[in-house]
Amino acid sequence: MAEVGWRFPPLSGGTRQGYTNNDIEVFKGQELMDNLAREICQNSLDAKDDSDVPVKVVFELKKVKTSDYSLFSEYQECLDGCRRYWGDEMDARLSKFLSEADKTISADEISLLVASDYNTKGLDGSYSQKLKSPWEALTSSDGMSVKNEEDSGGSYGIGKNAPFACSSLSMVFYNTYANDGGNAFVGVARLATLMNKEDKPTQRVGKYQVNNDDDEIWTPIYTDTDSSFRDLFRRENEKGTDVIVAGFNQETDWMENVTKAVLKNFFVAISEEKLIVELKDKYEHKIIEKSNISQLFDDYENNGEMVQSTQLYKAFTNPDSHQLLEVINSDDVEVYIKSDNSYKRVVANFRSTGMLVGTYSKRIFQHYAAVVIVRGKELGELLKDTEPPRHNRWDYKLINASEVERRKKARTAIRSIEDQVLELLKSQFESFGTDTIDAAGVGEYLPDTADNSDESVVGDDLLKPKIKLGKIRKARSRSDSTTVEAGKEVGGVKEGDVHNDAVNPTPPPPQPWSPPKPVDPDNTESEQREGVVRQKGTKTMKTPEVKAQRAYPINASEGLYKIIMVPSESYENLYLSCAAVGEDGKSDLLNIESLTCNGYSIAVNGGKAGPISVEADETIVVFAKFSNREKMILKLQLEEVPKG
């Protein structure tokens, strides 16, 4: 007789299985909700139907009464079966999980996070149960990926485990209405080997389904089978898929966290109207779409977690440079570049569907944000095979070593993209020589903000070294003295204008000069003496006020220096020169070979560069190359010359 319920297949002499699952653990950590949102939206985008409307993904937090659905009390028996099997030999990880699961099931209500997509194809294969169908890959397979042959869509490989990492019950349900007519529902739980009702050990993965053990027929729950829990998610007309995370354990700020994850990973898809995301619960309803994505980024302007994503979004929507690259075919890759002194020097790679794959940095002097989008179909199919389960980078080594030519092709493609992007960055922003030296990793931590500039900079805490301070030793100072024997000179008397130059060559100090008394042209009195009359003279050059400034060498042997300053006022016609200060305090004007200000090349005439336009209280970053190839203390000299 067929019944709906949980079934964990018998172990039958197989290998016992613990609770730890690396395929789930890889998605846990600080980026838990980020991983969940990425996996859900990625699979939905890859399953896009043939219509012209965007894919819509709806995340909804629901509560259900535990006592209304028998599947939860049945699951409690499975948890108890885990305890019976492992007994005193249970490890700490399983013990902790079982305690949390008990608390969840004993509560009056259980939280469900439901992720539903629309304008998609659904999951074919629920009726045919073909091994390589999307339905079987998602619900009934481990370690097997299935690629949609038509559009190289989602593979439903290890990434399908991301929802389990968000469940205190390790329980996820799937519901679909697919193009092949399949309308099916099934639950999957990932526990550890347990004892069933017959006190026989089972495998760790069980399913909530229709079980006919007598005839050995096990199927999903179809529409002709009664199931009150399934009816909560029944689809009548709209094709698509629902992923239901039971015992959702990330309720705190869940909507905020999903919003940030969607903005970071899918701003290209949303901006290109390929994706719309809705988030709702009992109290709030939010929509993320093209019409409001700019405002959402503005709302997170002061959120440190979103700084880099905001810079990338601005580069994509308002670039300084937009280029197309050829990799395998023409126009395979689209690149957007924007420069700003506050940017973090980051390149972001995106799939053609508009999903972020990963970020990296190329070290050049200018600060920038670059968005790289794979547009070519052949290139896109190749690079998808180089993505790890978390889809956060390209790695040609992930292609099987036996596929020598395909692996080589992927390596060449990835290198070509990175090399061409680097050349674009170099051509976009002037670079001072190719043989400059930057100690590995140090450049990223050089201060780009002048002291006391009142500018707040959010750090990434990438490095937190532990430094042990020993006892401070004071070196004894040595005092040296030099004895000089004094001498006495006797002066002589000579006629004429003689100042004893031979003995004392120092000439007498000059007499102070006083300007002639101005002549009053209206005064005709005879006692007036010759003088000067006020006339129009040369224009006065204003000395700009700078509230903070700093200069330090980038590569002294090449004459490369970085200068940072914060002007107190705005100037439209500023000229800059630099002098090297010696130990005696004297300064010598330096010859400037080339100079950039905030990424733009500035005209140089000998020791002076300009004109430069600057705004008050904005940090100005200057890179200068001097003829002097040595380490120097720089003195910055500024002049504001009135126009006209």
Fold of 546-640: Immunoglobulin-like (2.60.40)
| Banded pLDDT at 523 (limits 50, 70, 90) | low
Check residue 536 and give its pLDDT.
54
Task: Check if the beta carbon of residue 280 is closer than 8 Å to that of residue 113.
Answer: no
| Banded pLDDT at 344 (limits 50, 70, 90) | confident
Tell me if domain 3-282 and domain 546-640 are identical in fold: no
Least confident range of 51-55, 75-79, 204-208, 565-569: 565-569
Amino acid at 405: E
Task: Check if the beta carbon of residue 260 is closer than 8 Å to that of residue 306.
Answer: yes
Whether the pLDDT of residue 606 is over 50: the answer is yes
Separation CA 243–CA 114 (nearest Å): 6
Report the first-to-last Cα separation within the chain, whole angstroms.
98
Q: 481: buried, middle or exposed (CB in 10 Å: 19+, 13-18, 0-12)?
A: exposed
Please give the share of the chain, as a percent, with pLDDT higher than 90: 51
Q: Where are the alpha helices (DSSP H) in 92-199?
A: 92-106, 134-139
Instruction: Spell out the domain ranges in the chain.
Output: 3-282, 304-431, 546-640
Q: Say if domain 3-282 classifies as CATH 3.30.565.
A: yes
Whether the pLDDT of residue 72 is over 50: the answer is yes
Check residue 509 and give its pLDDT.
52
Q: From 181, 163, 199, 217, select the one nearest 40 (Cα to Cα).
A: 163
The better pLDDT of the pair 644, 168 is held by 168
Helix, strand, or coil (residue 331): coil
Whether the pLDDT of residue 533 is over 90: the answer is no
**pLDDT for 209-238, tens place per residue?**
999 988 899 999 999 999 999 999 999 889
pTM for the model stands at 0.68
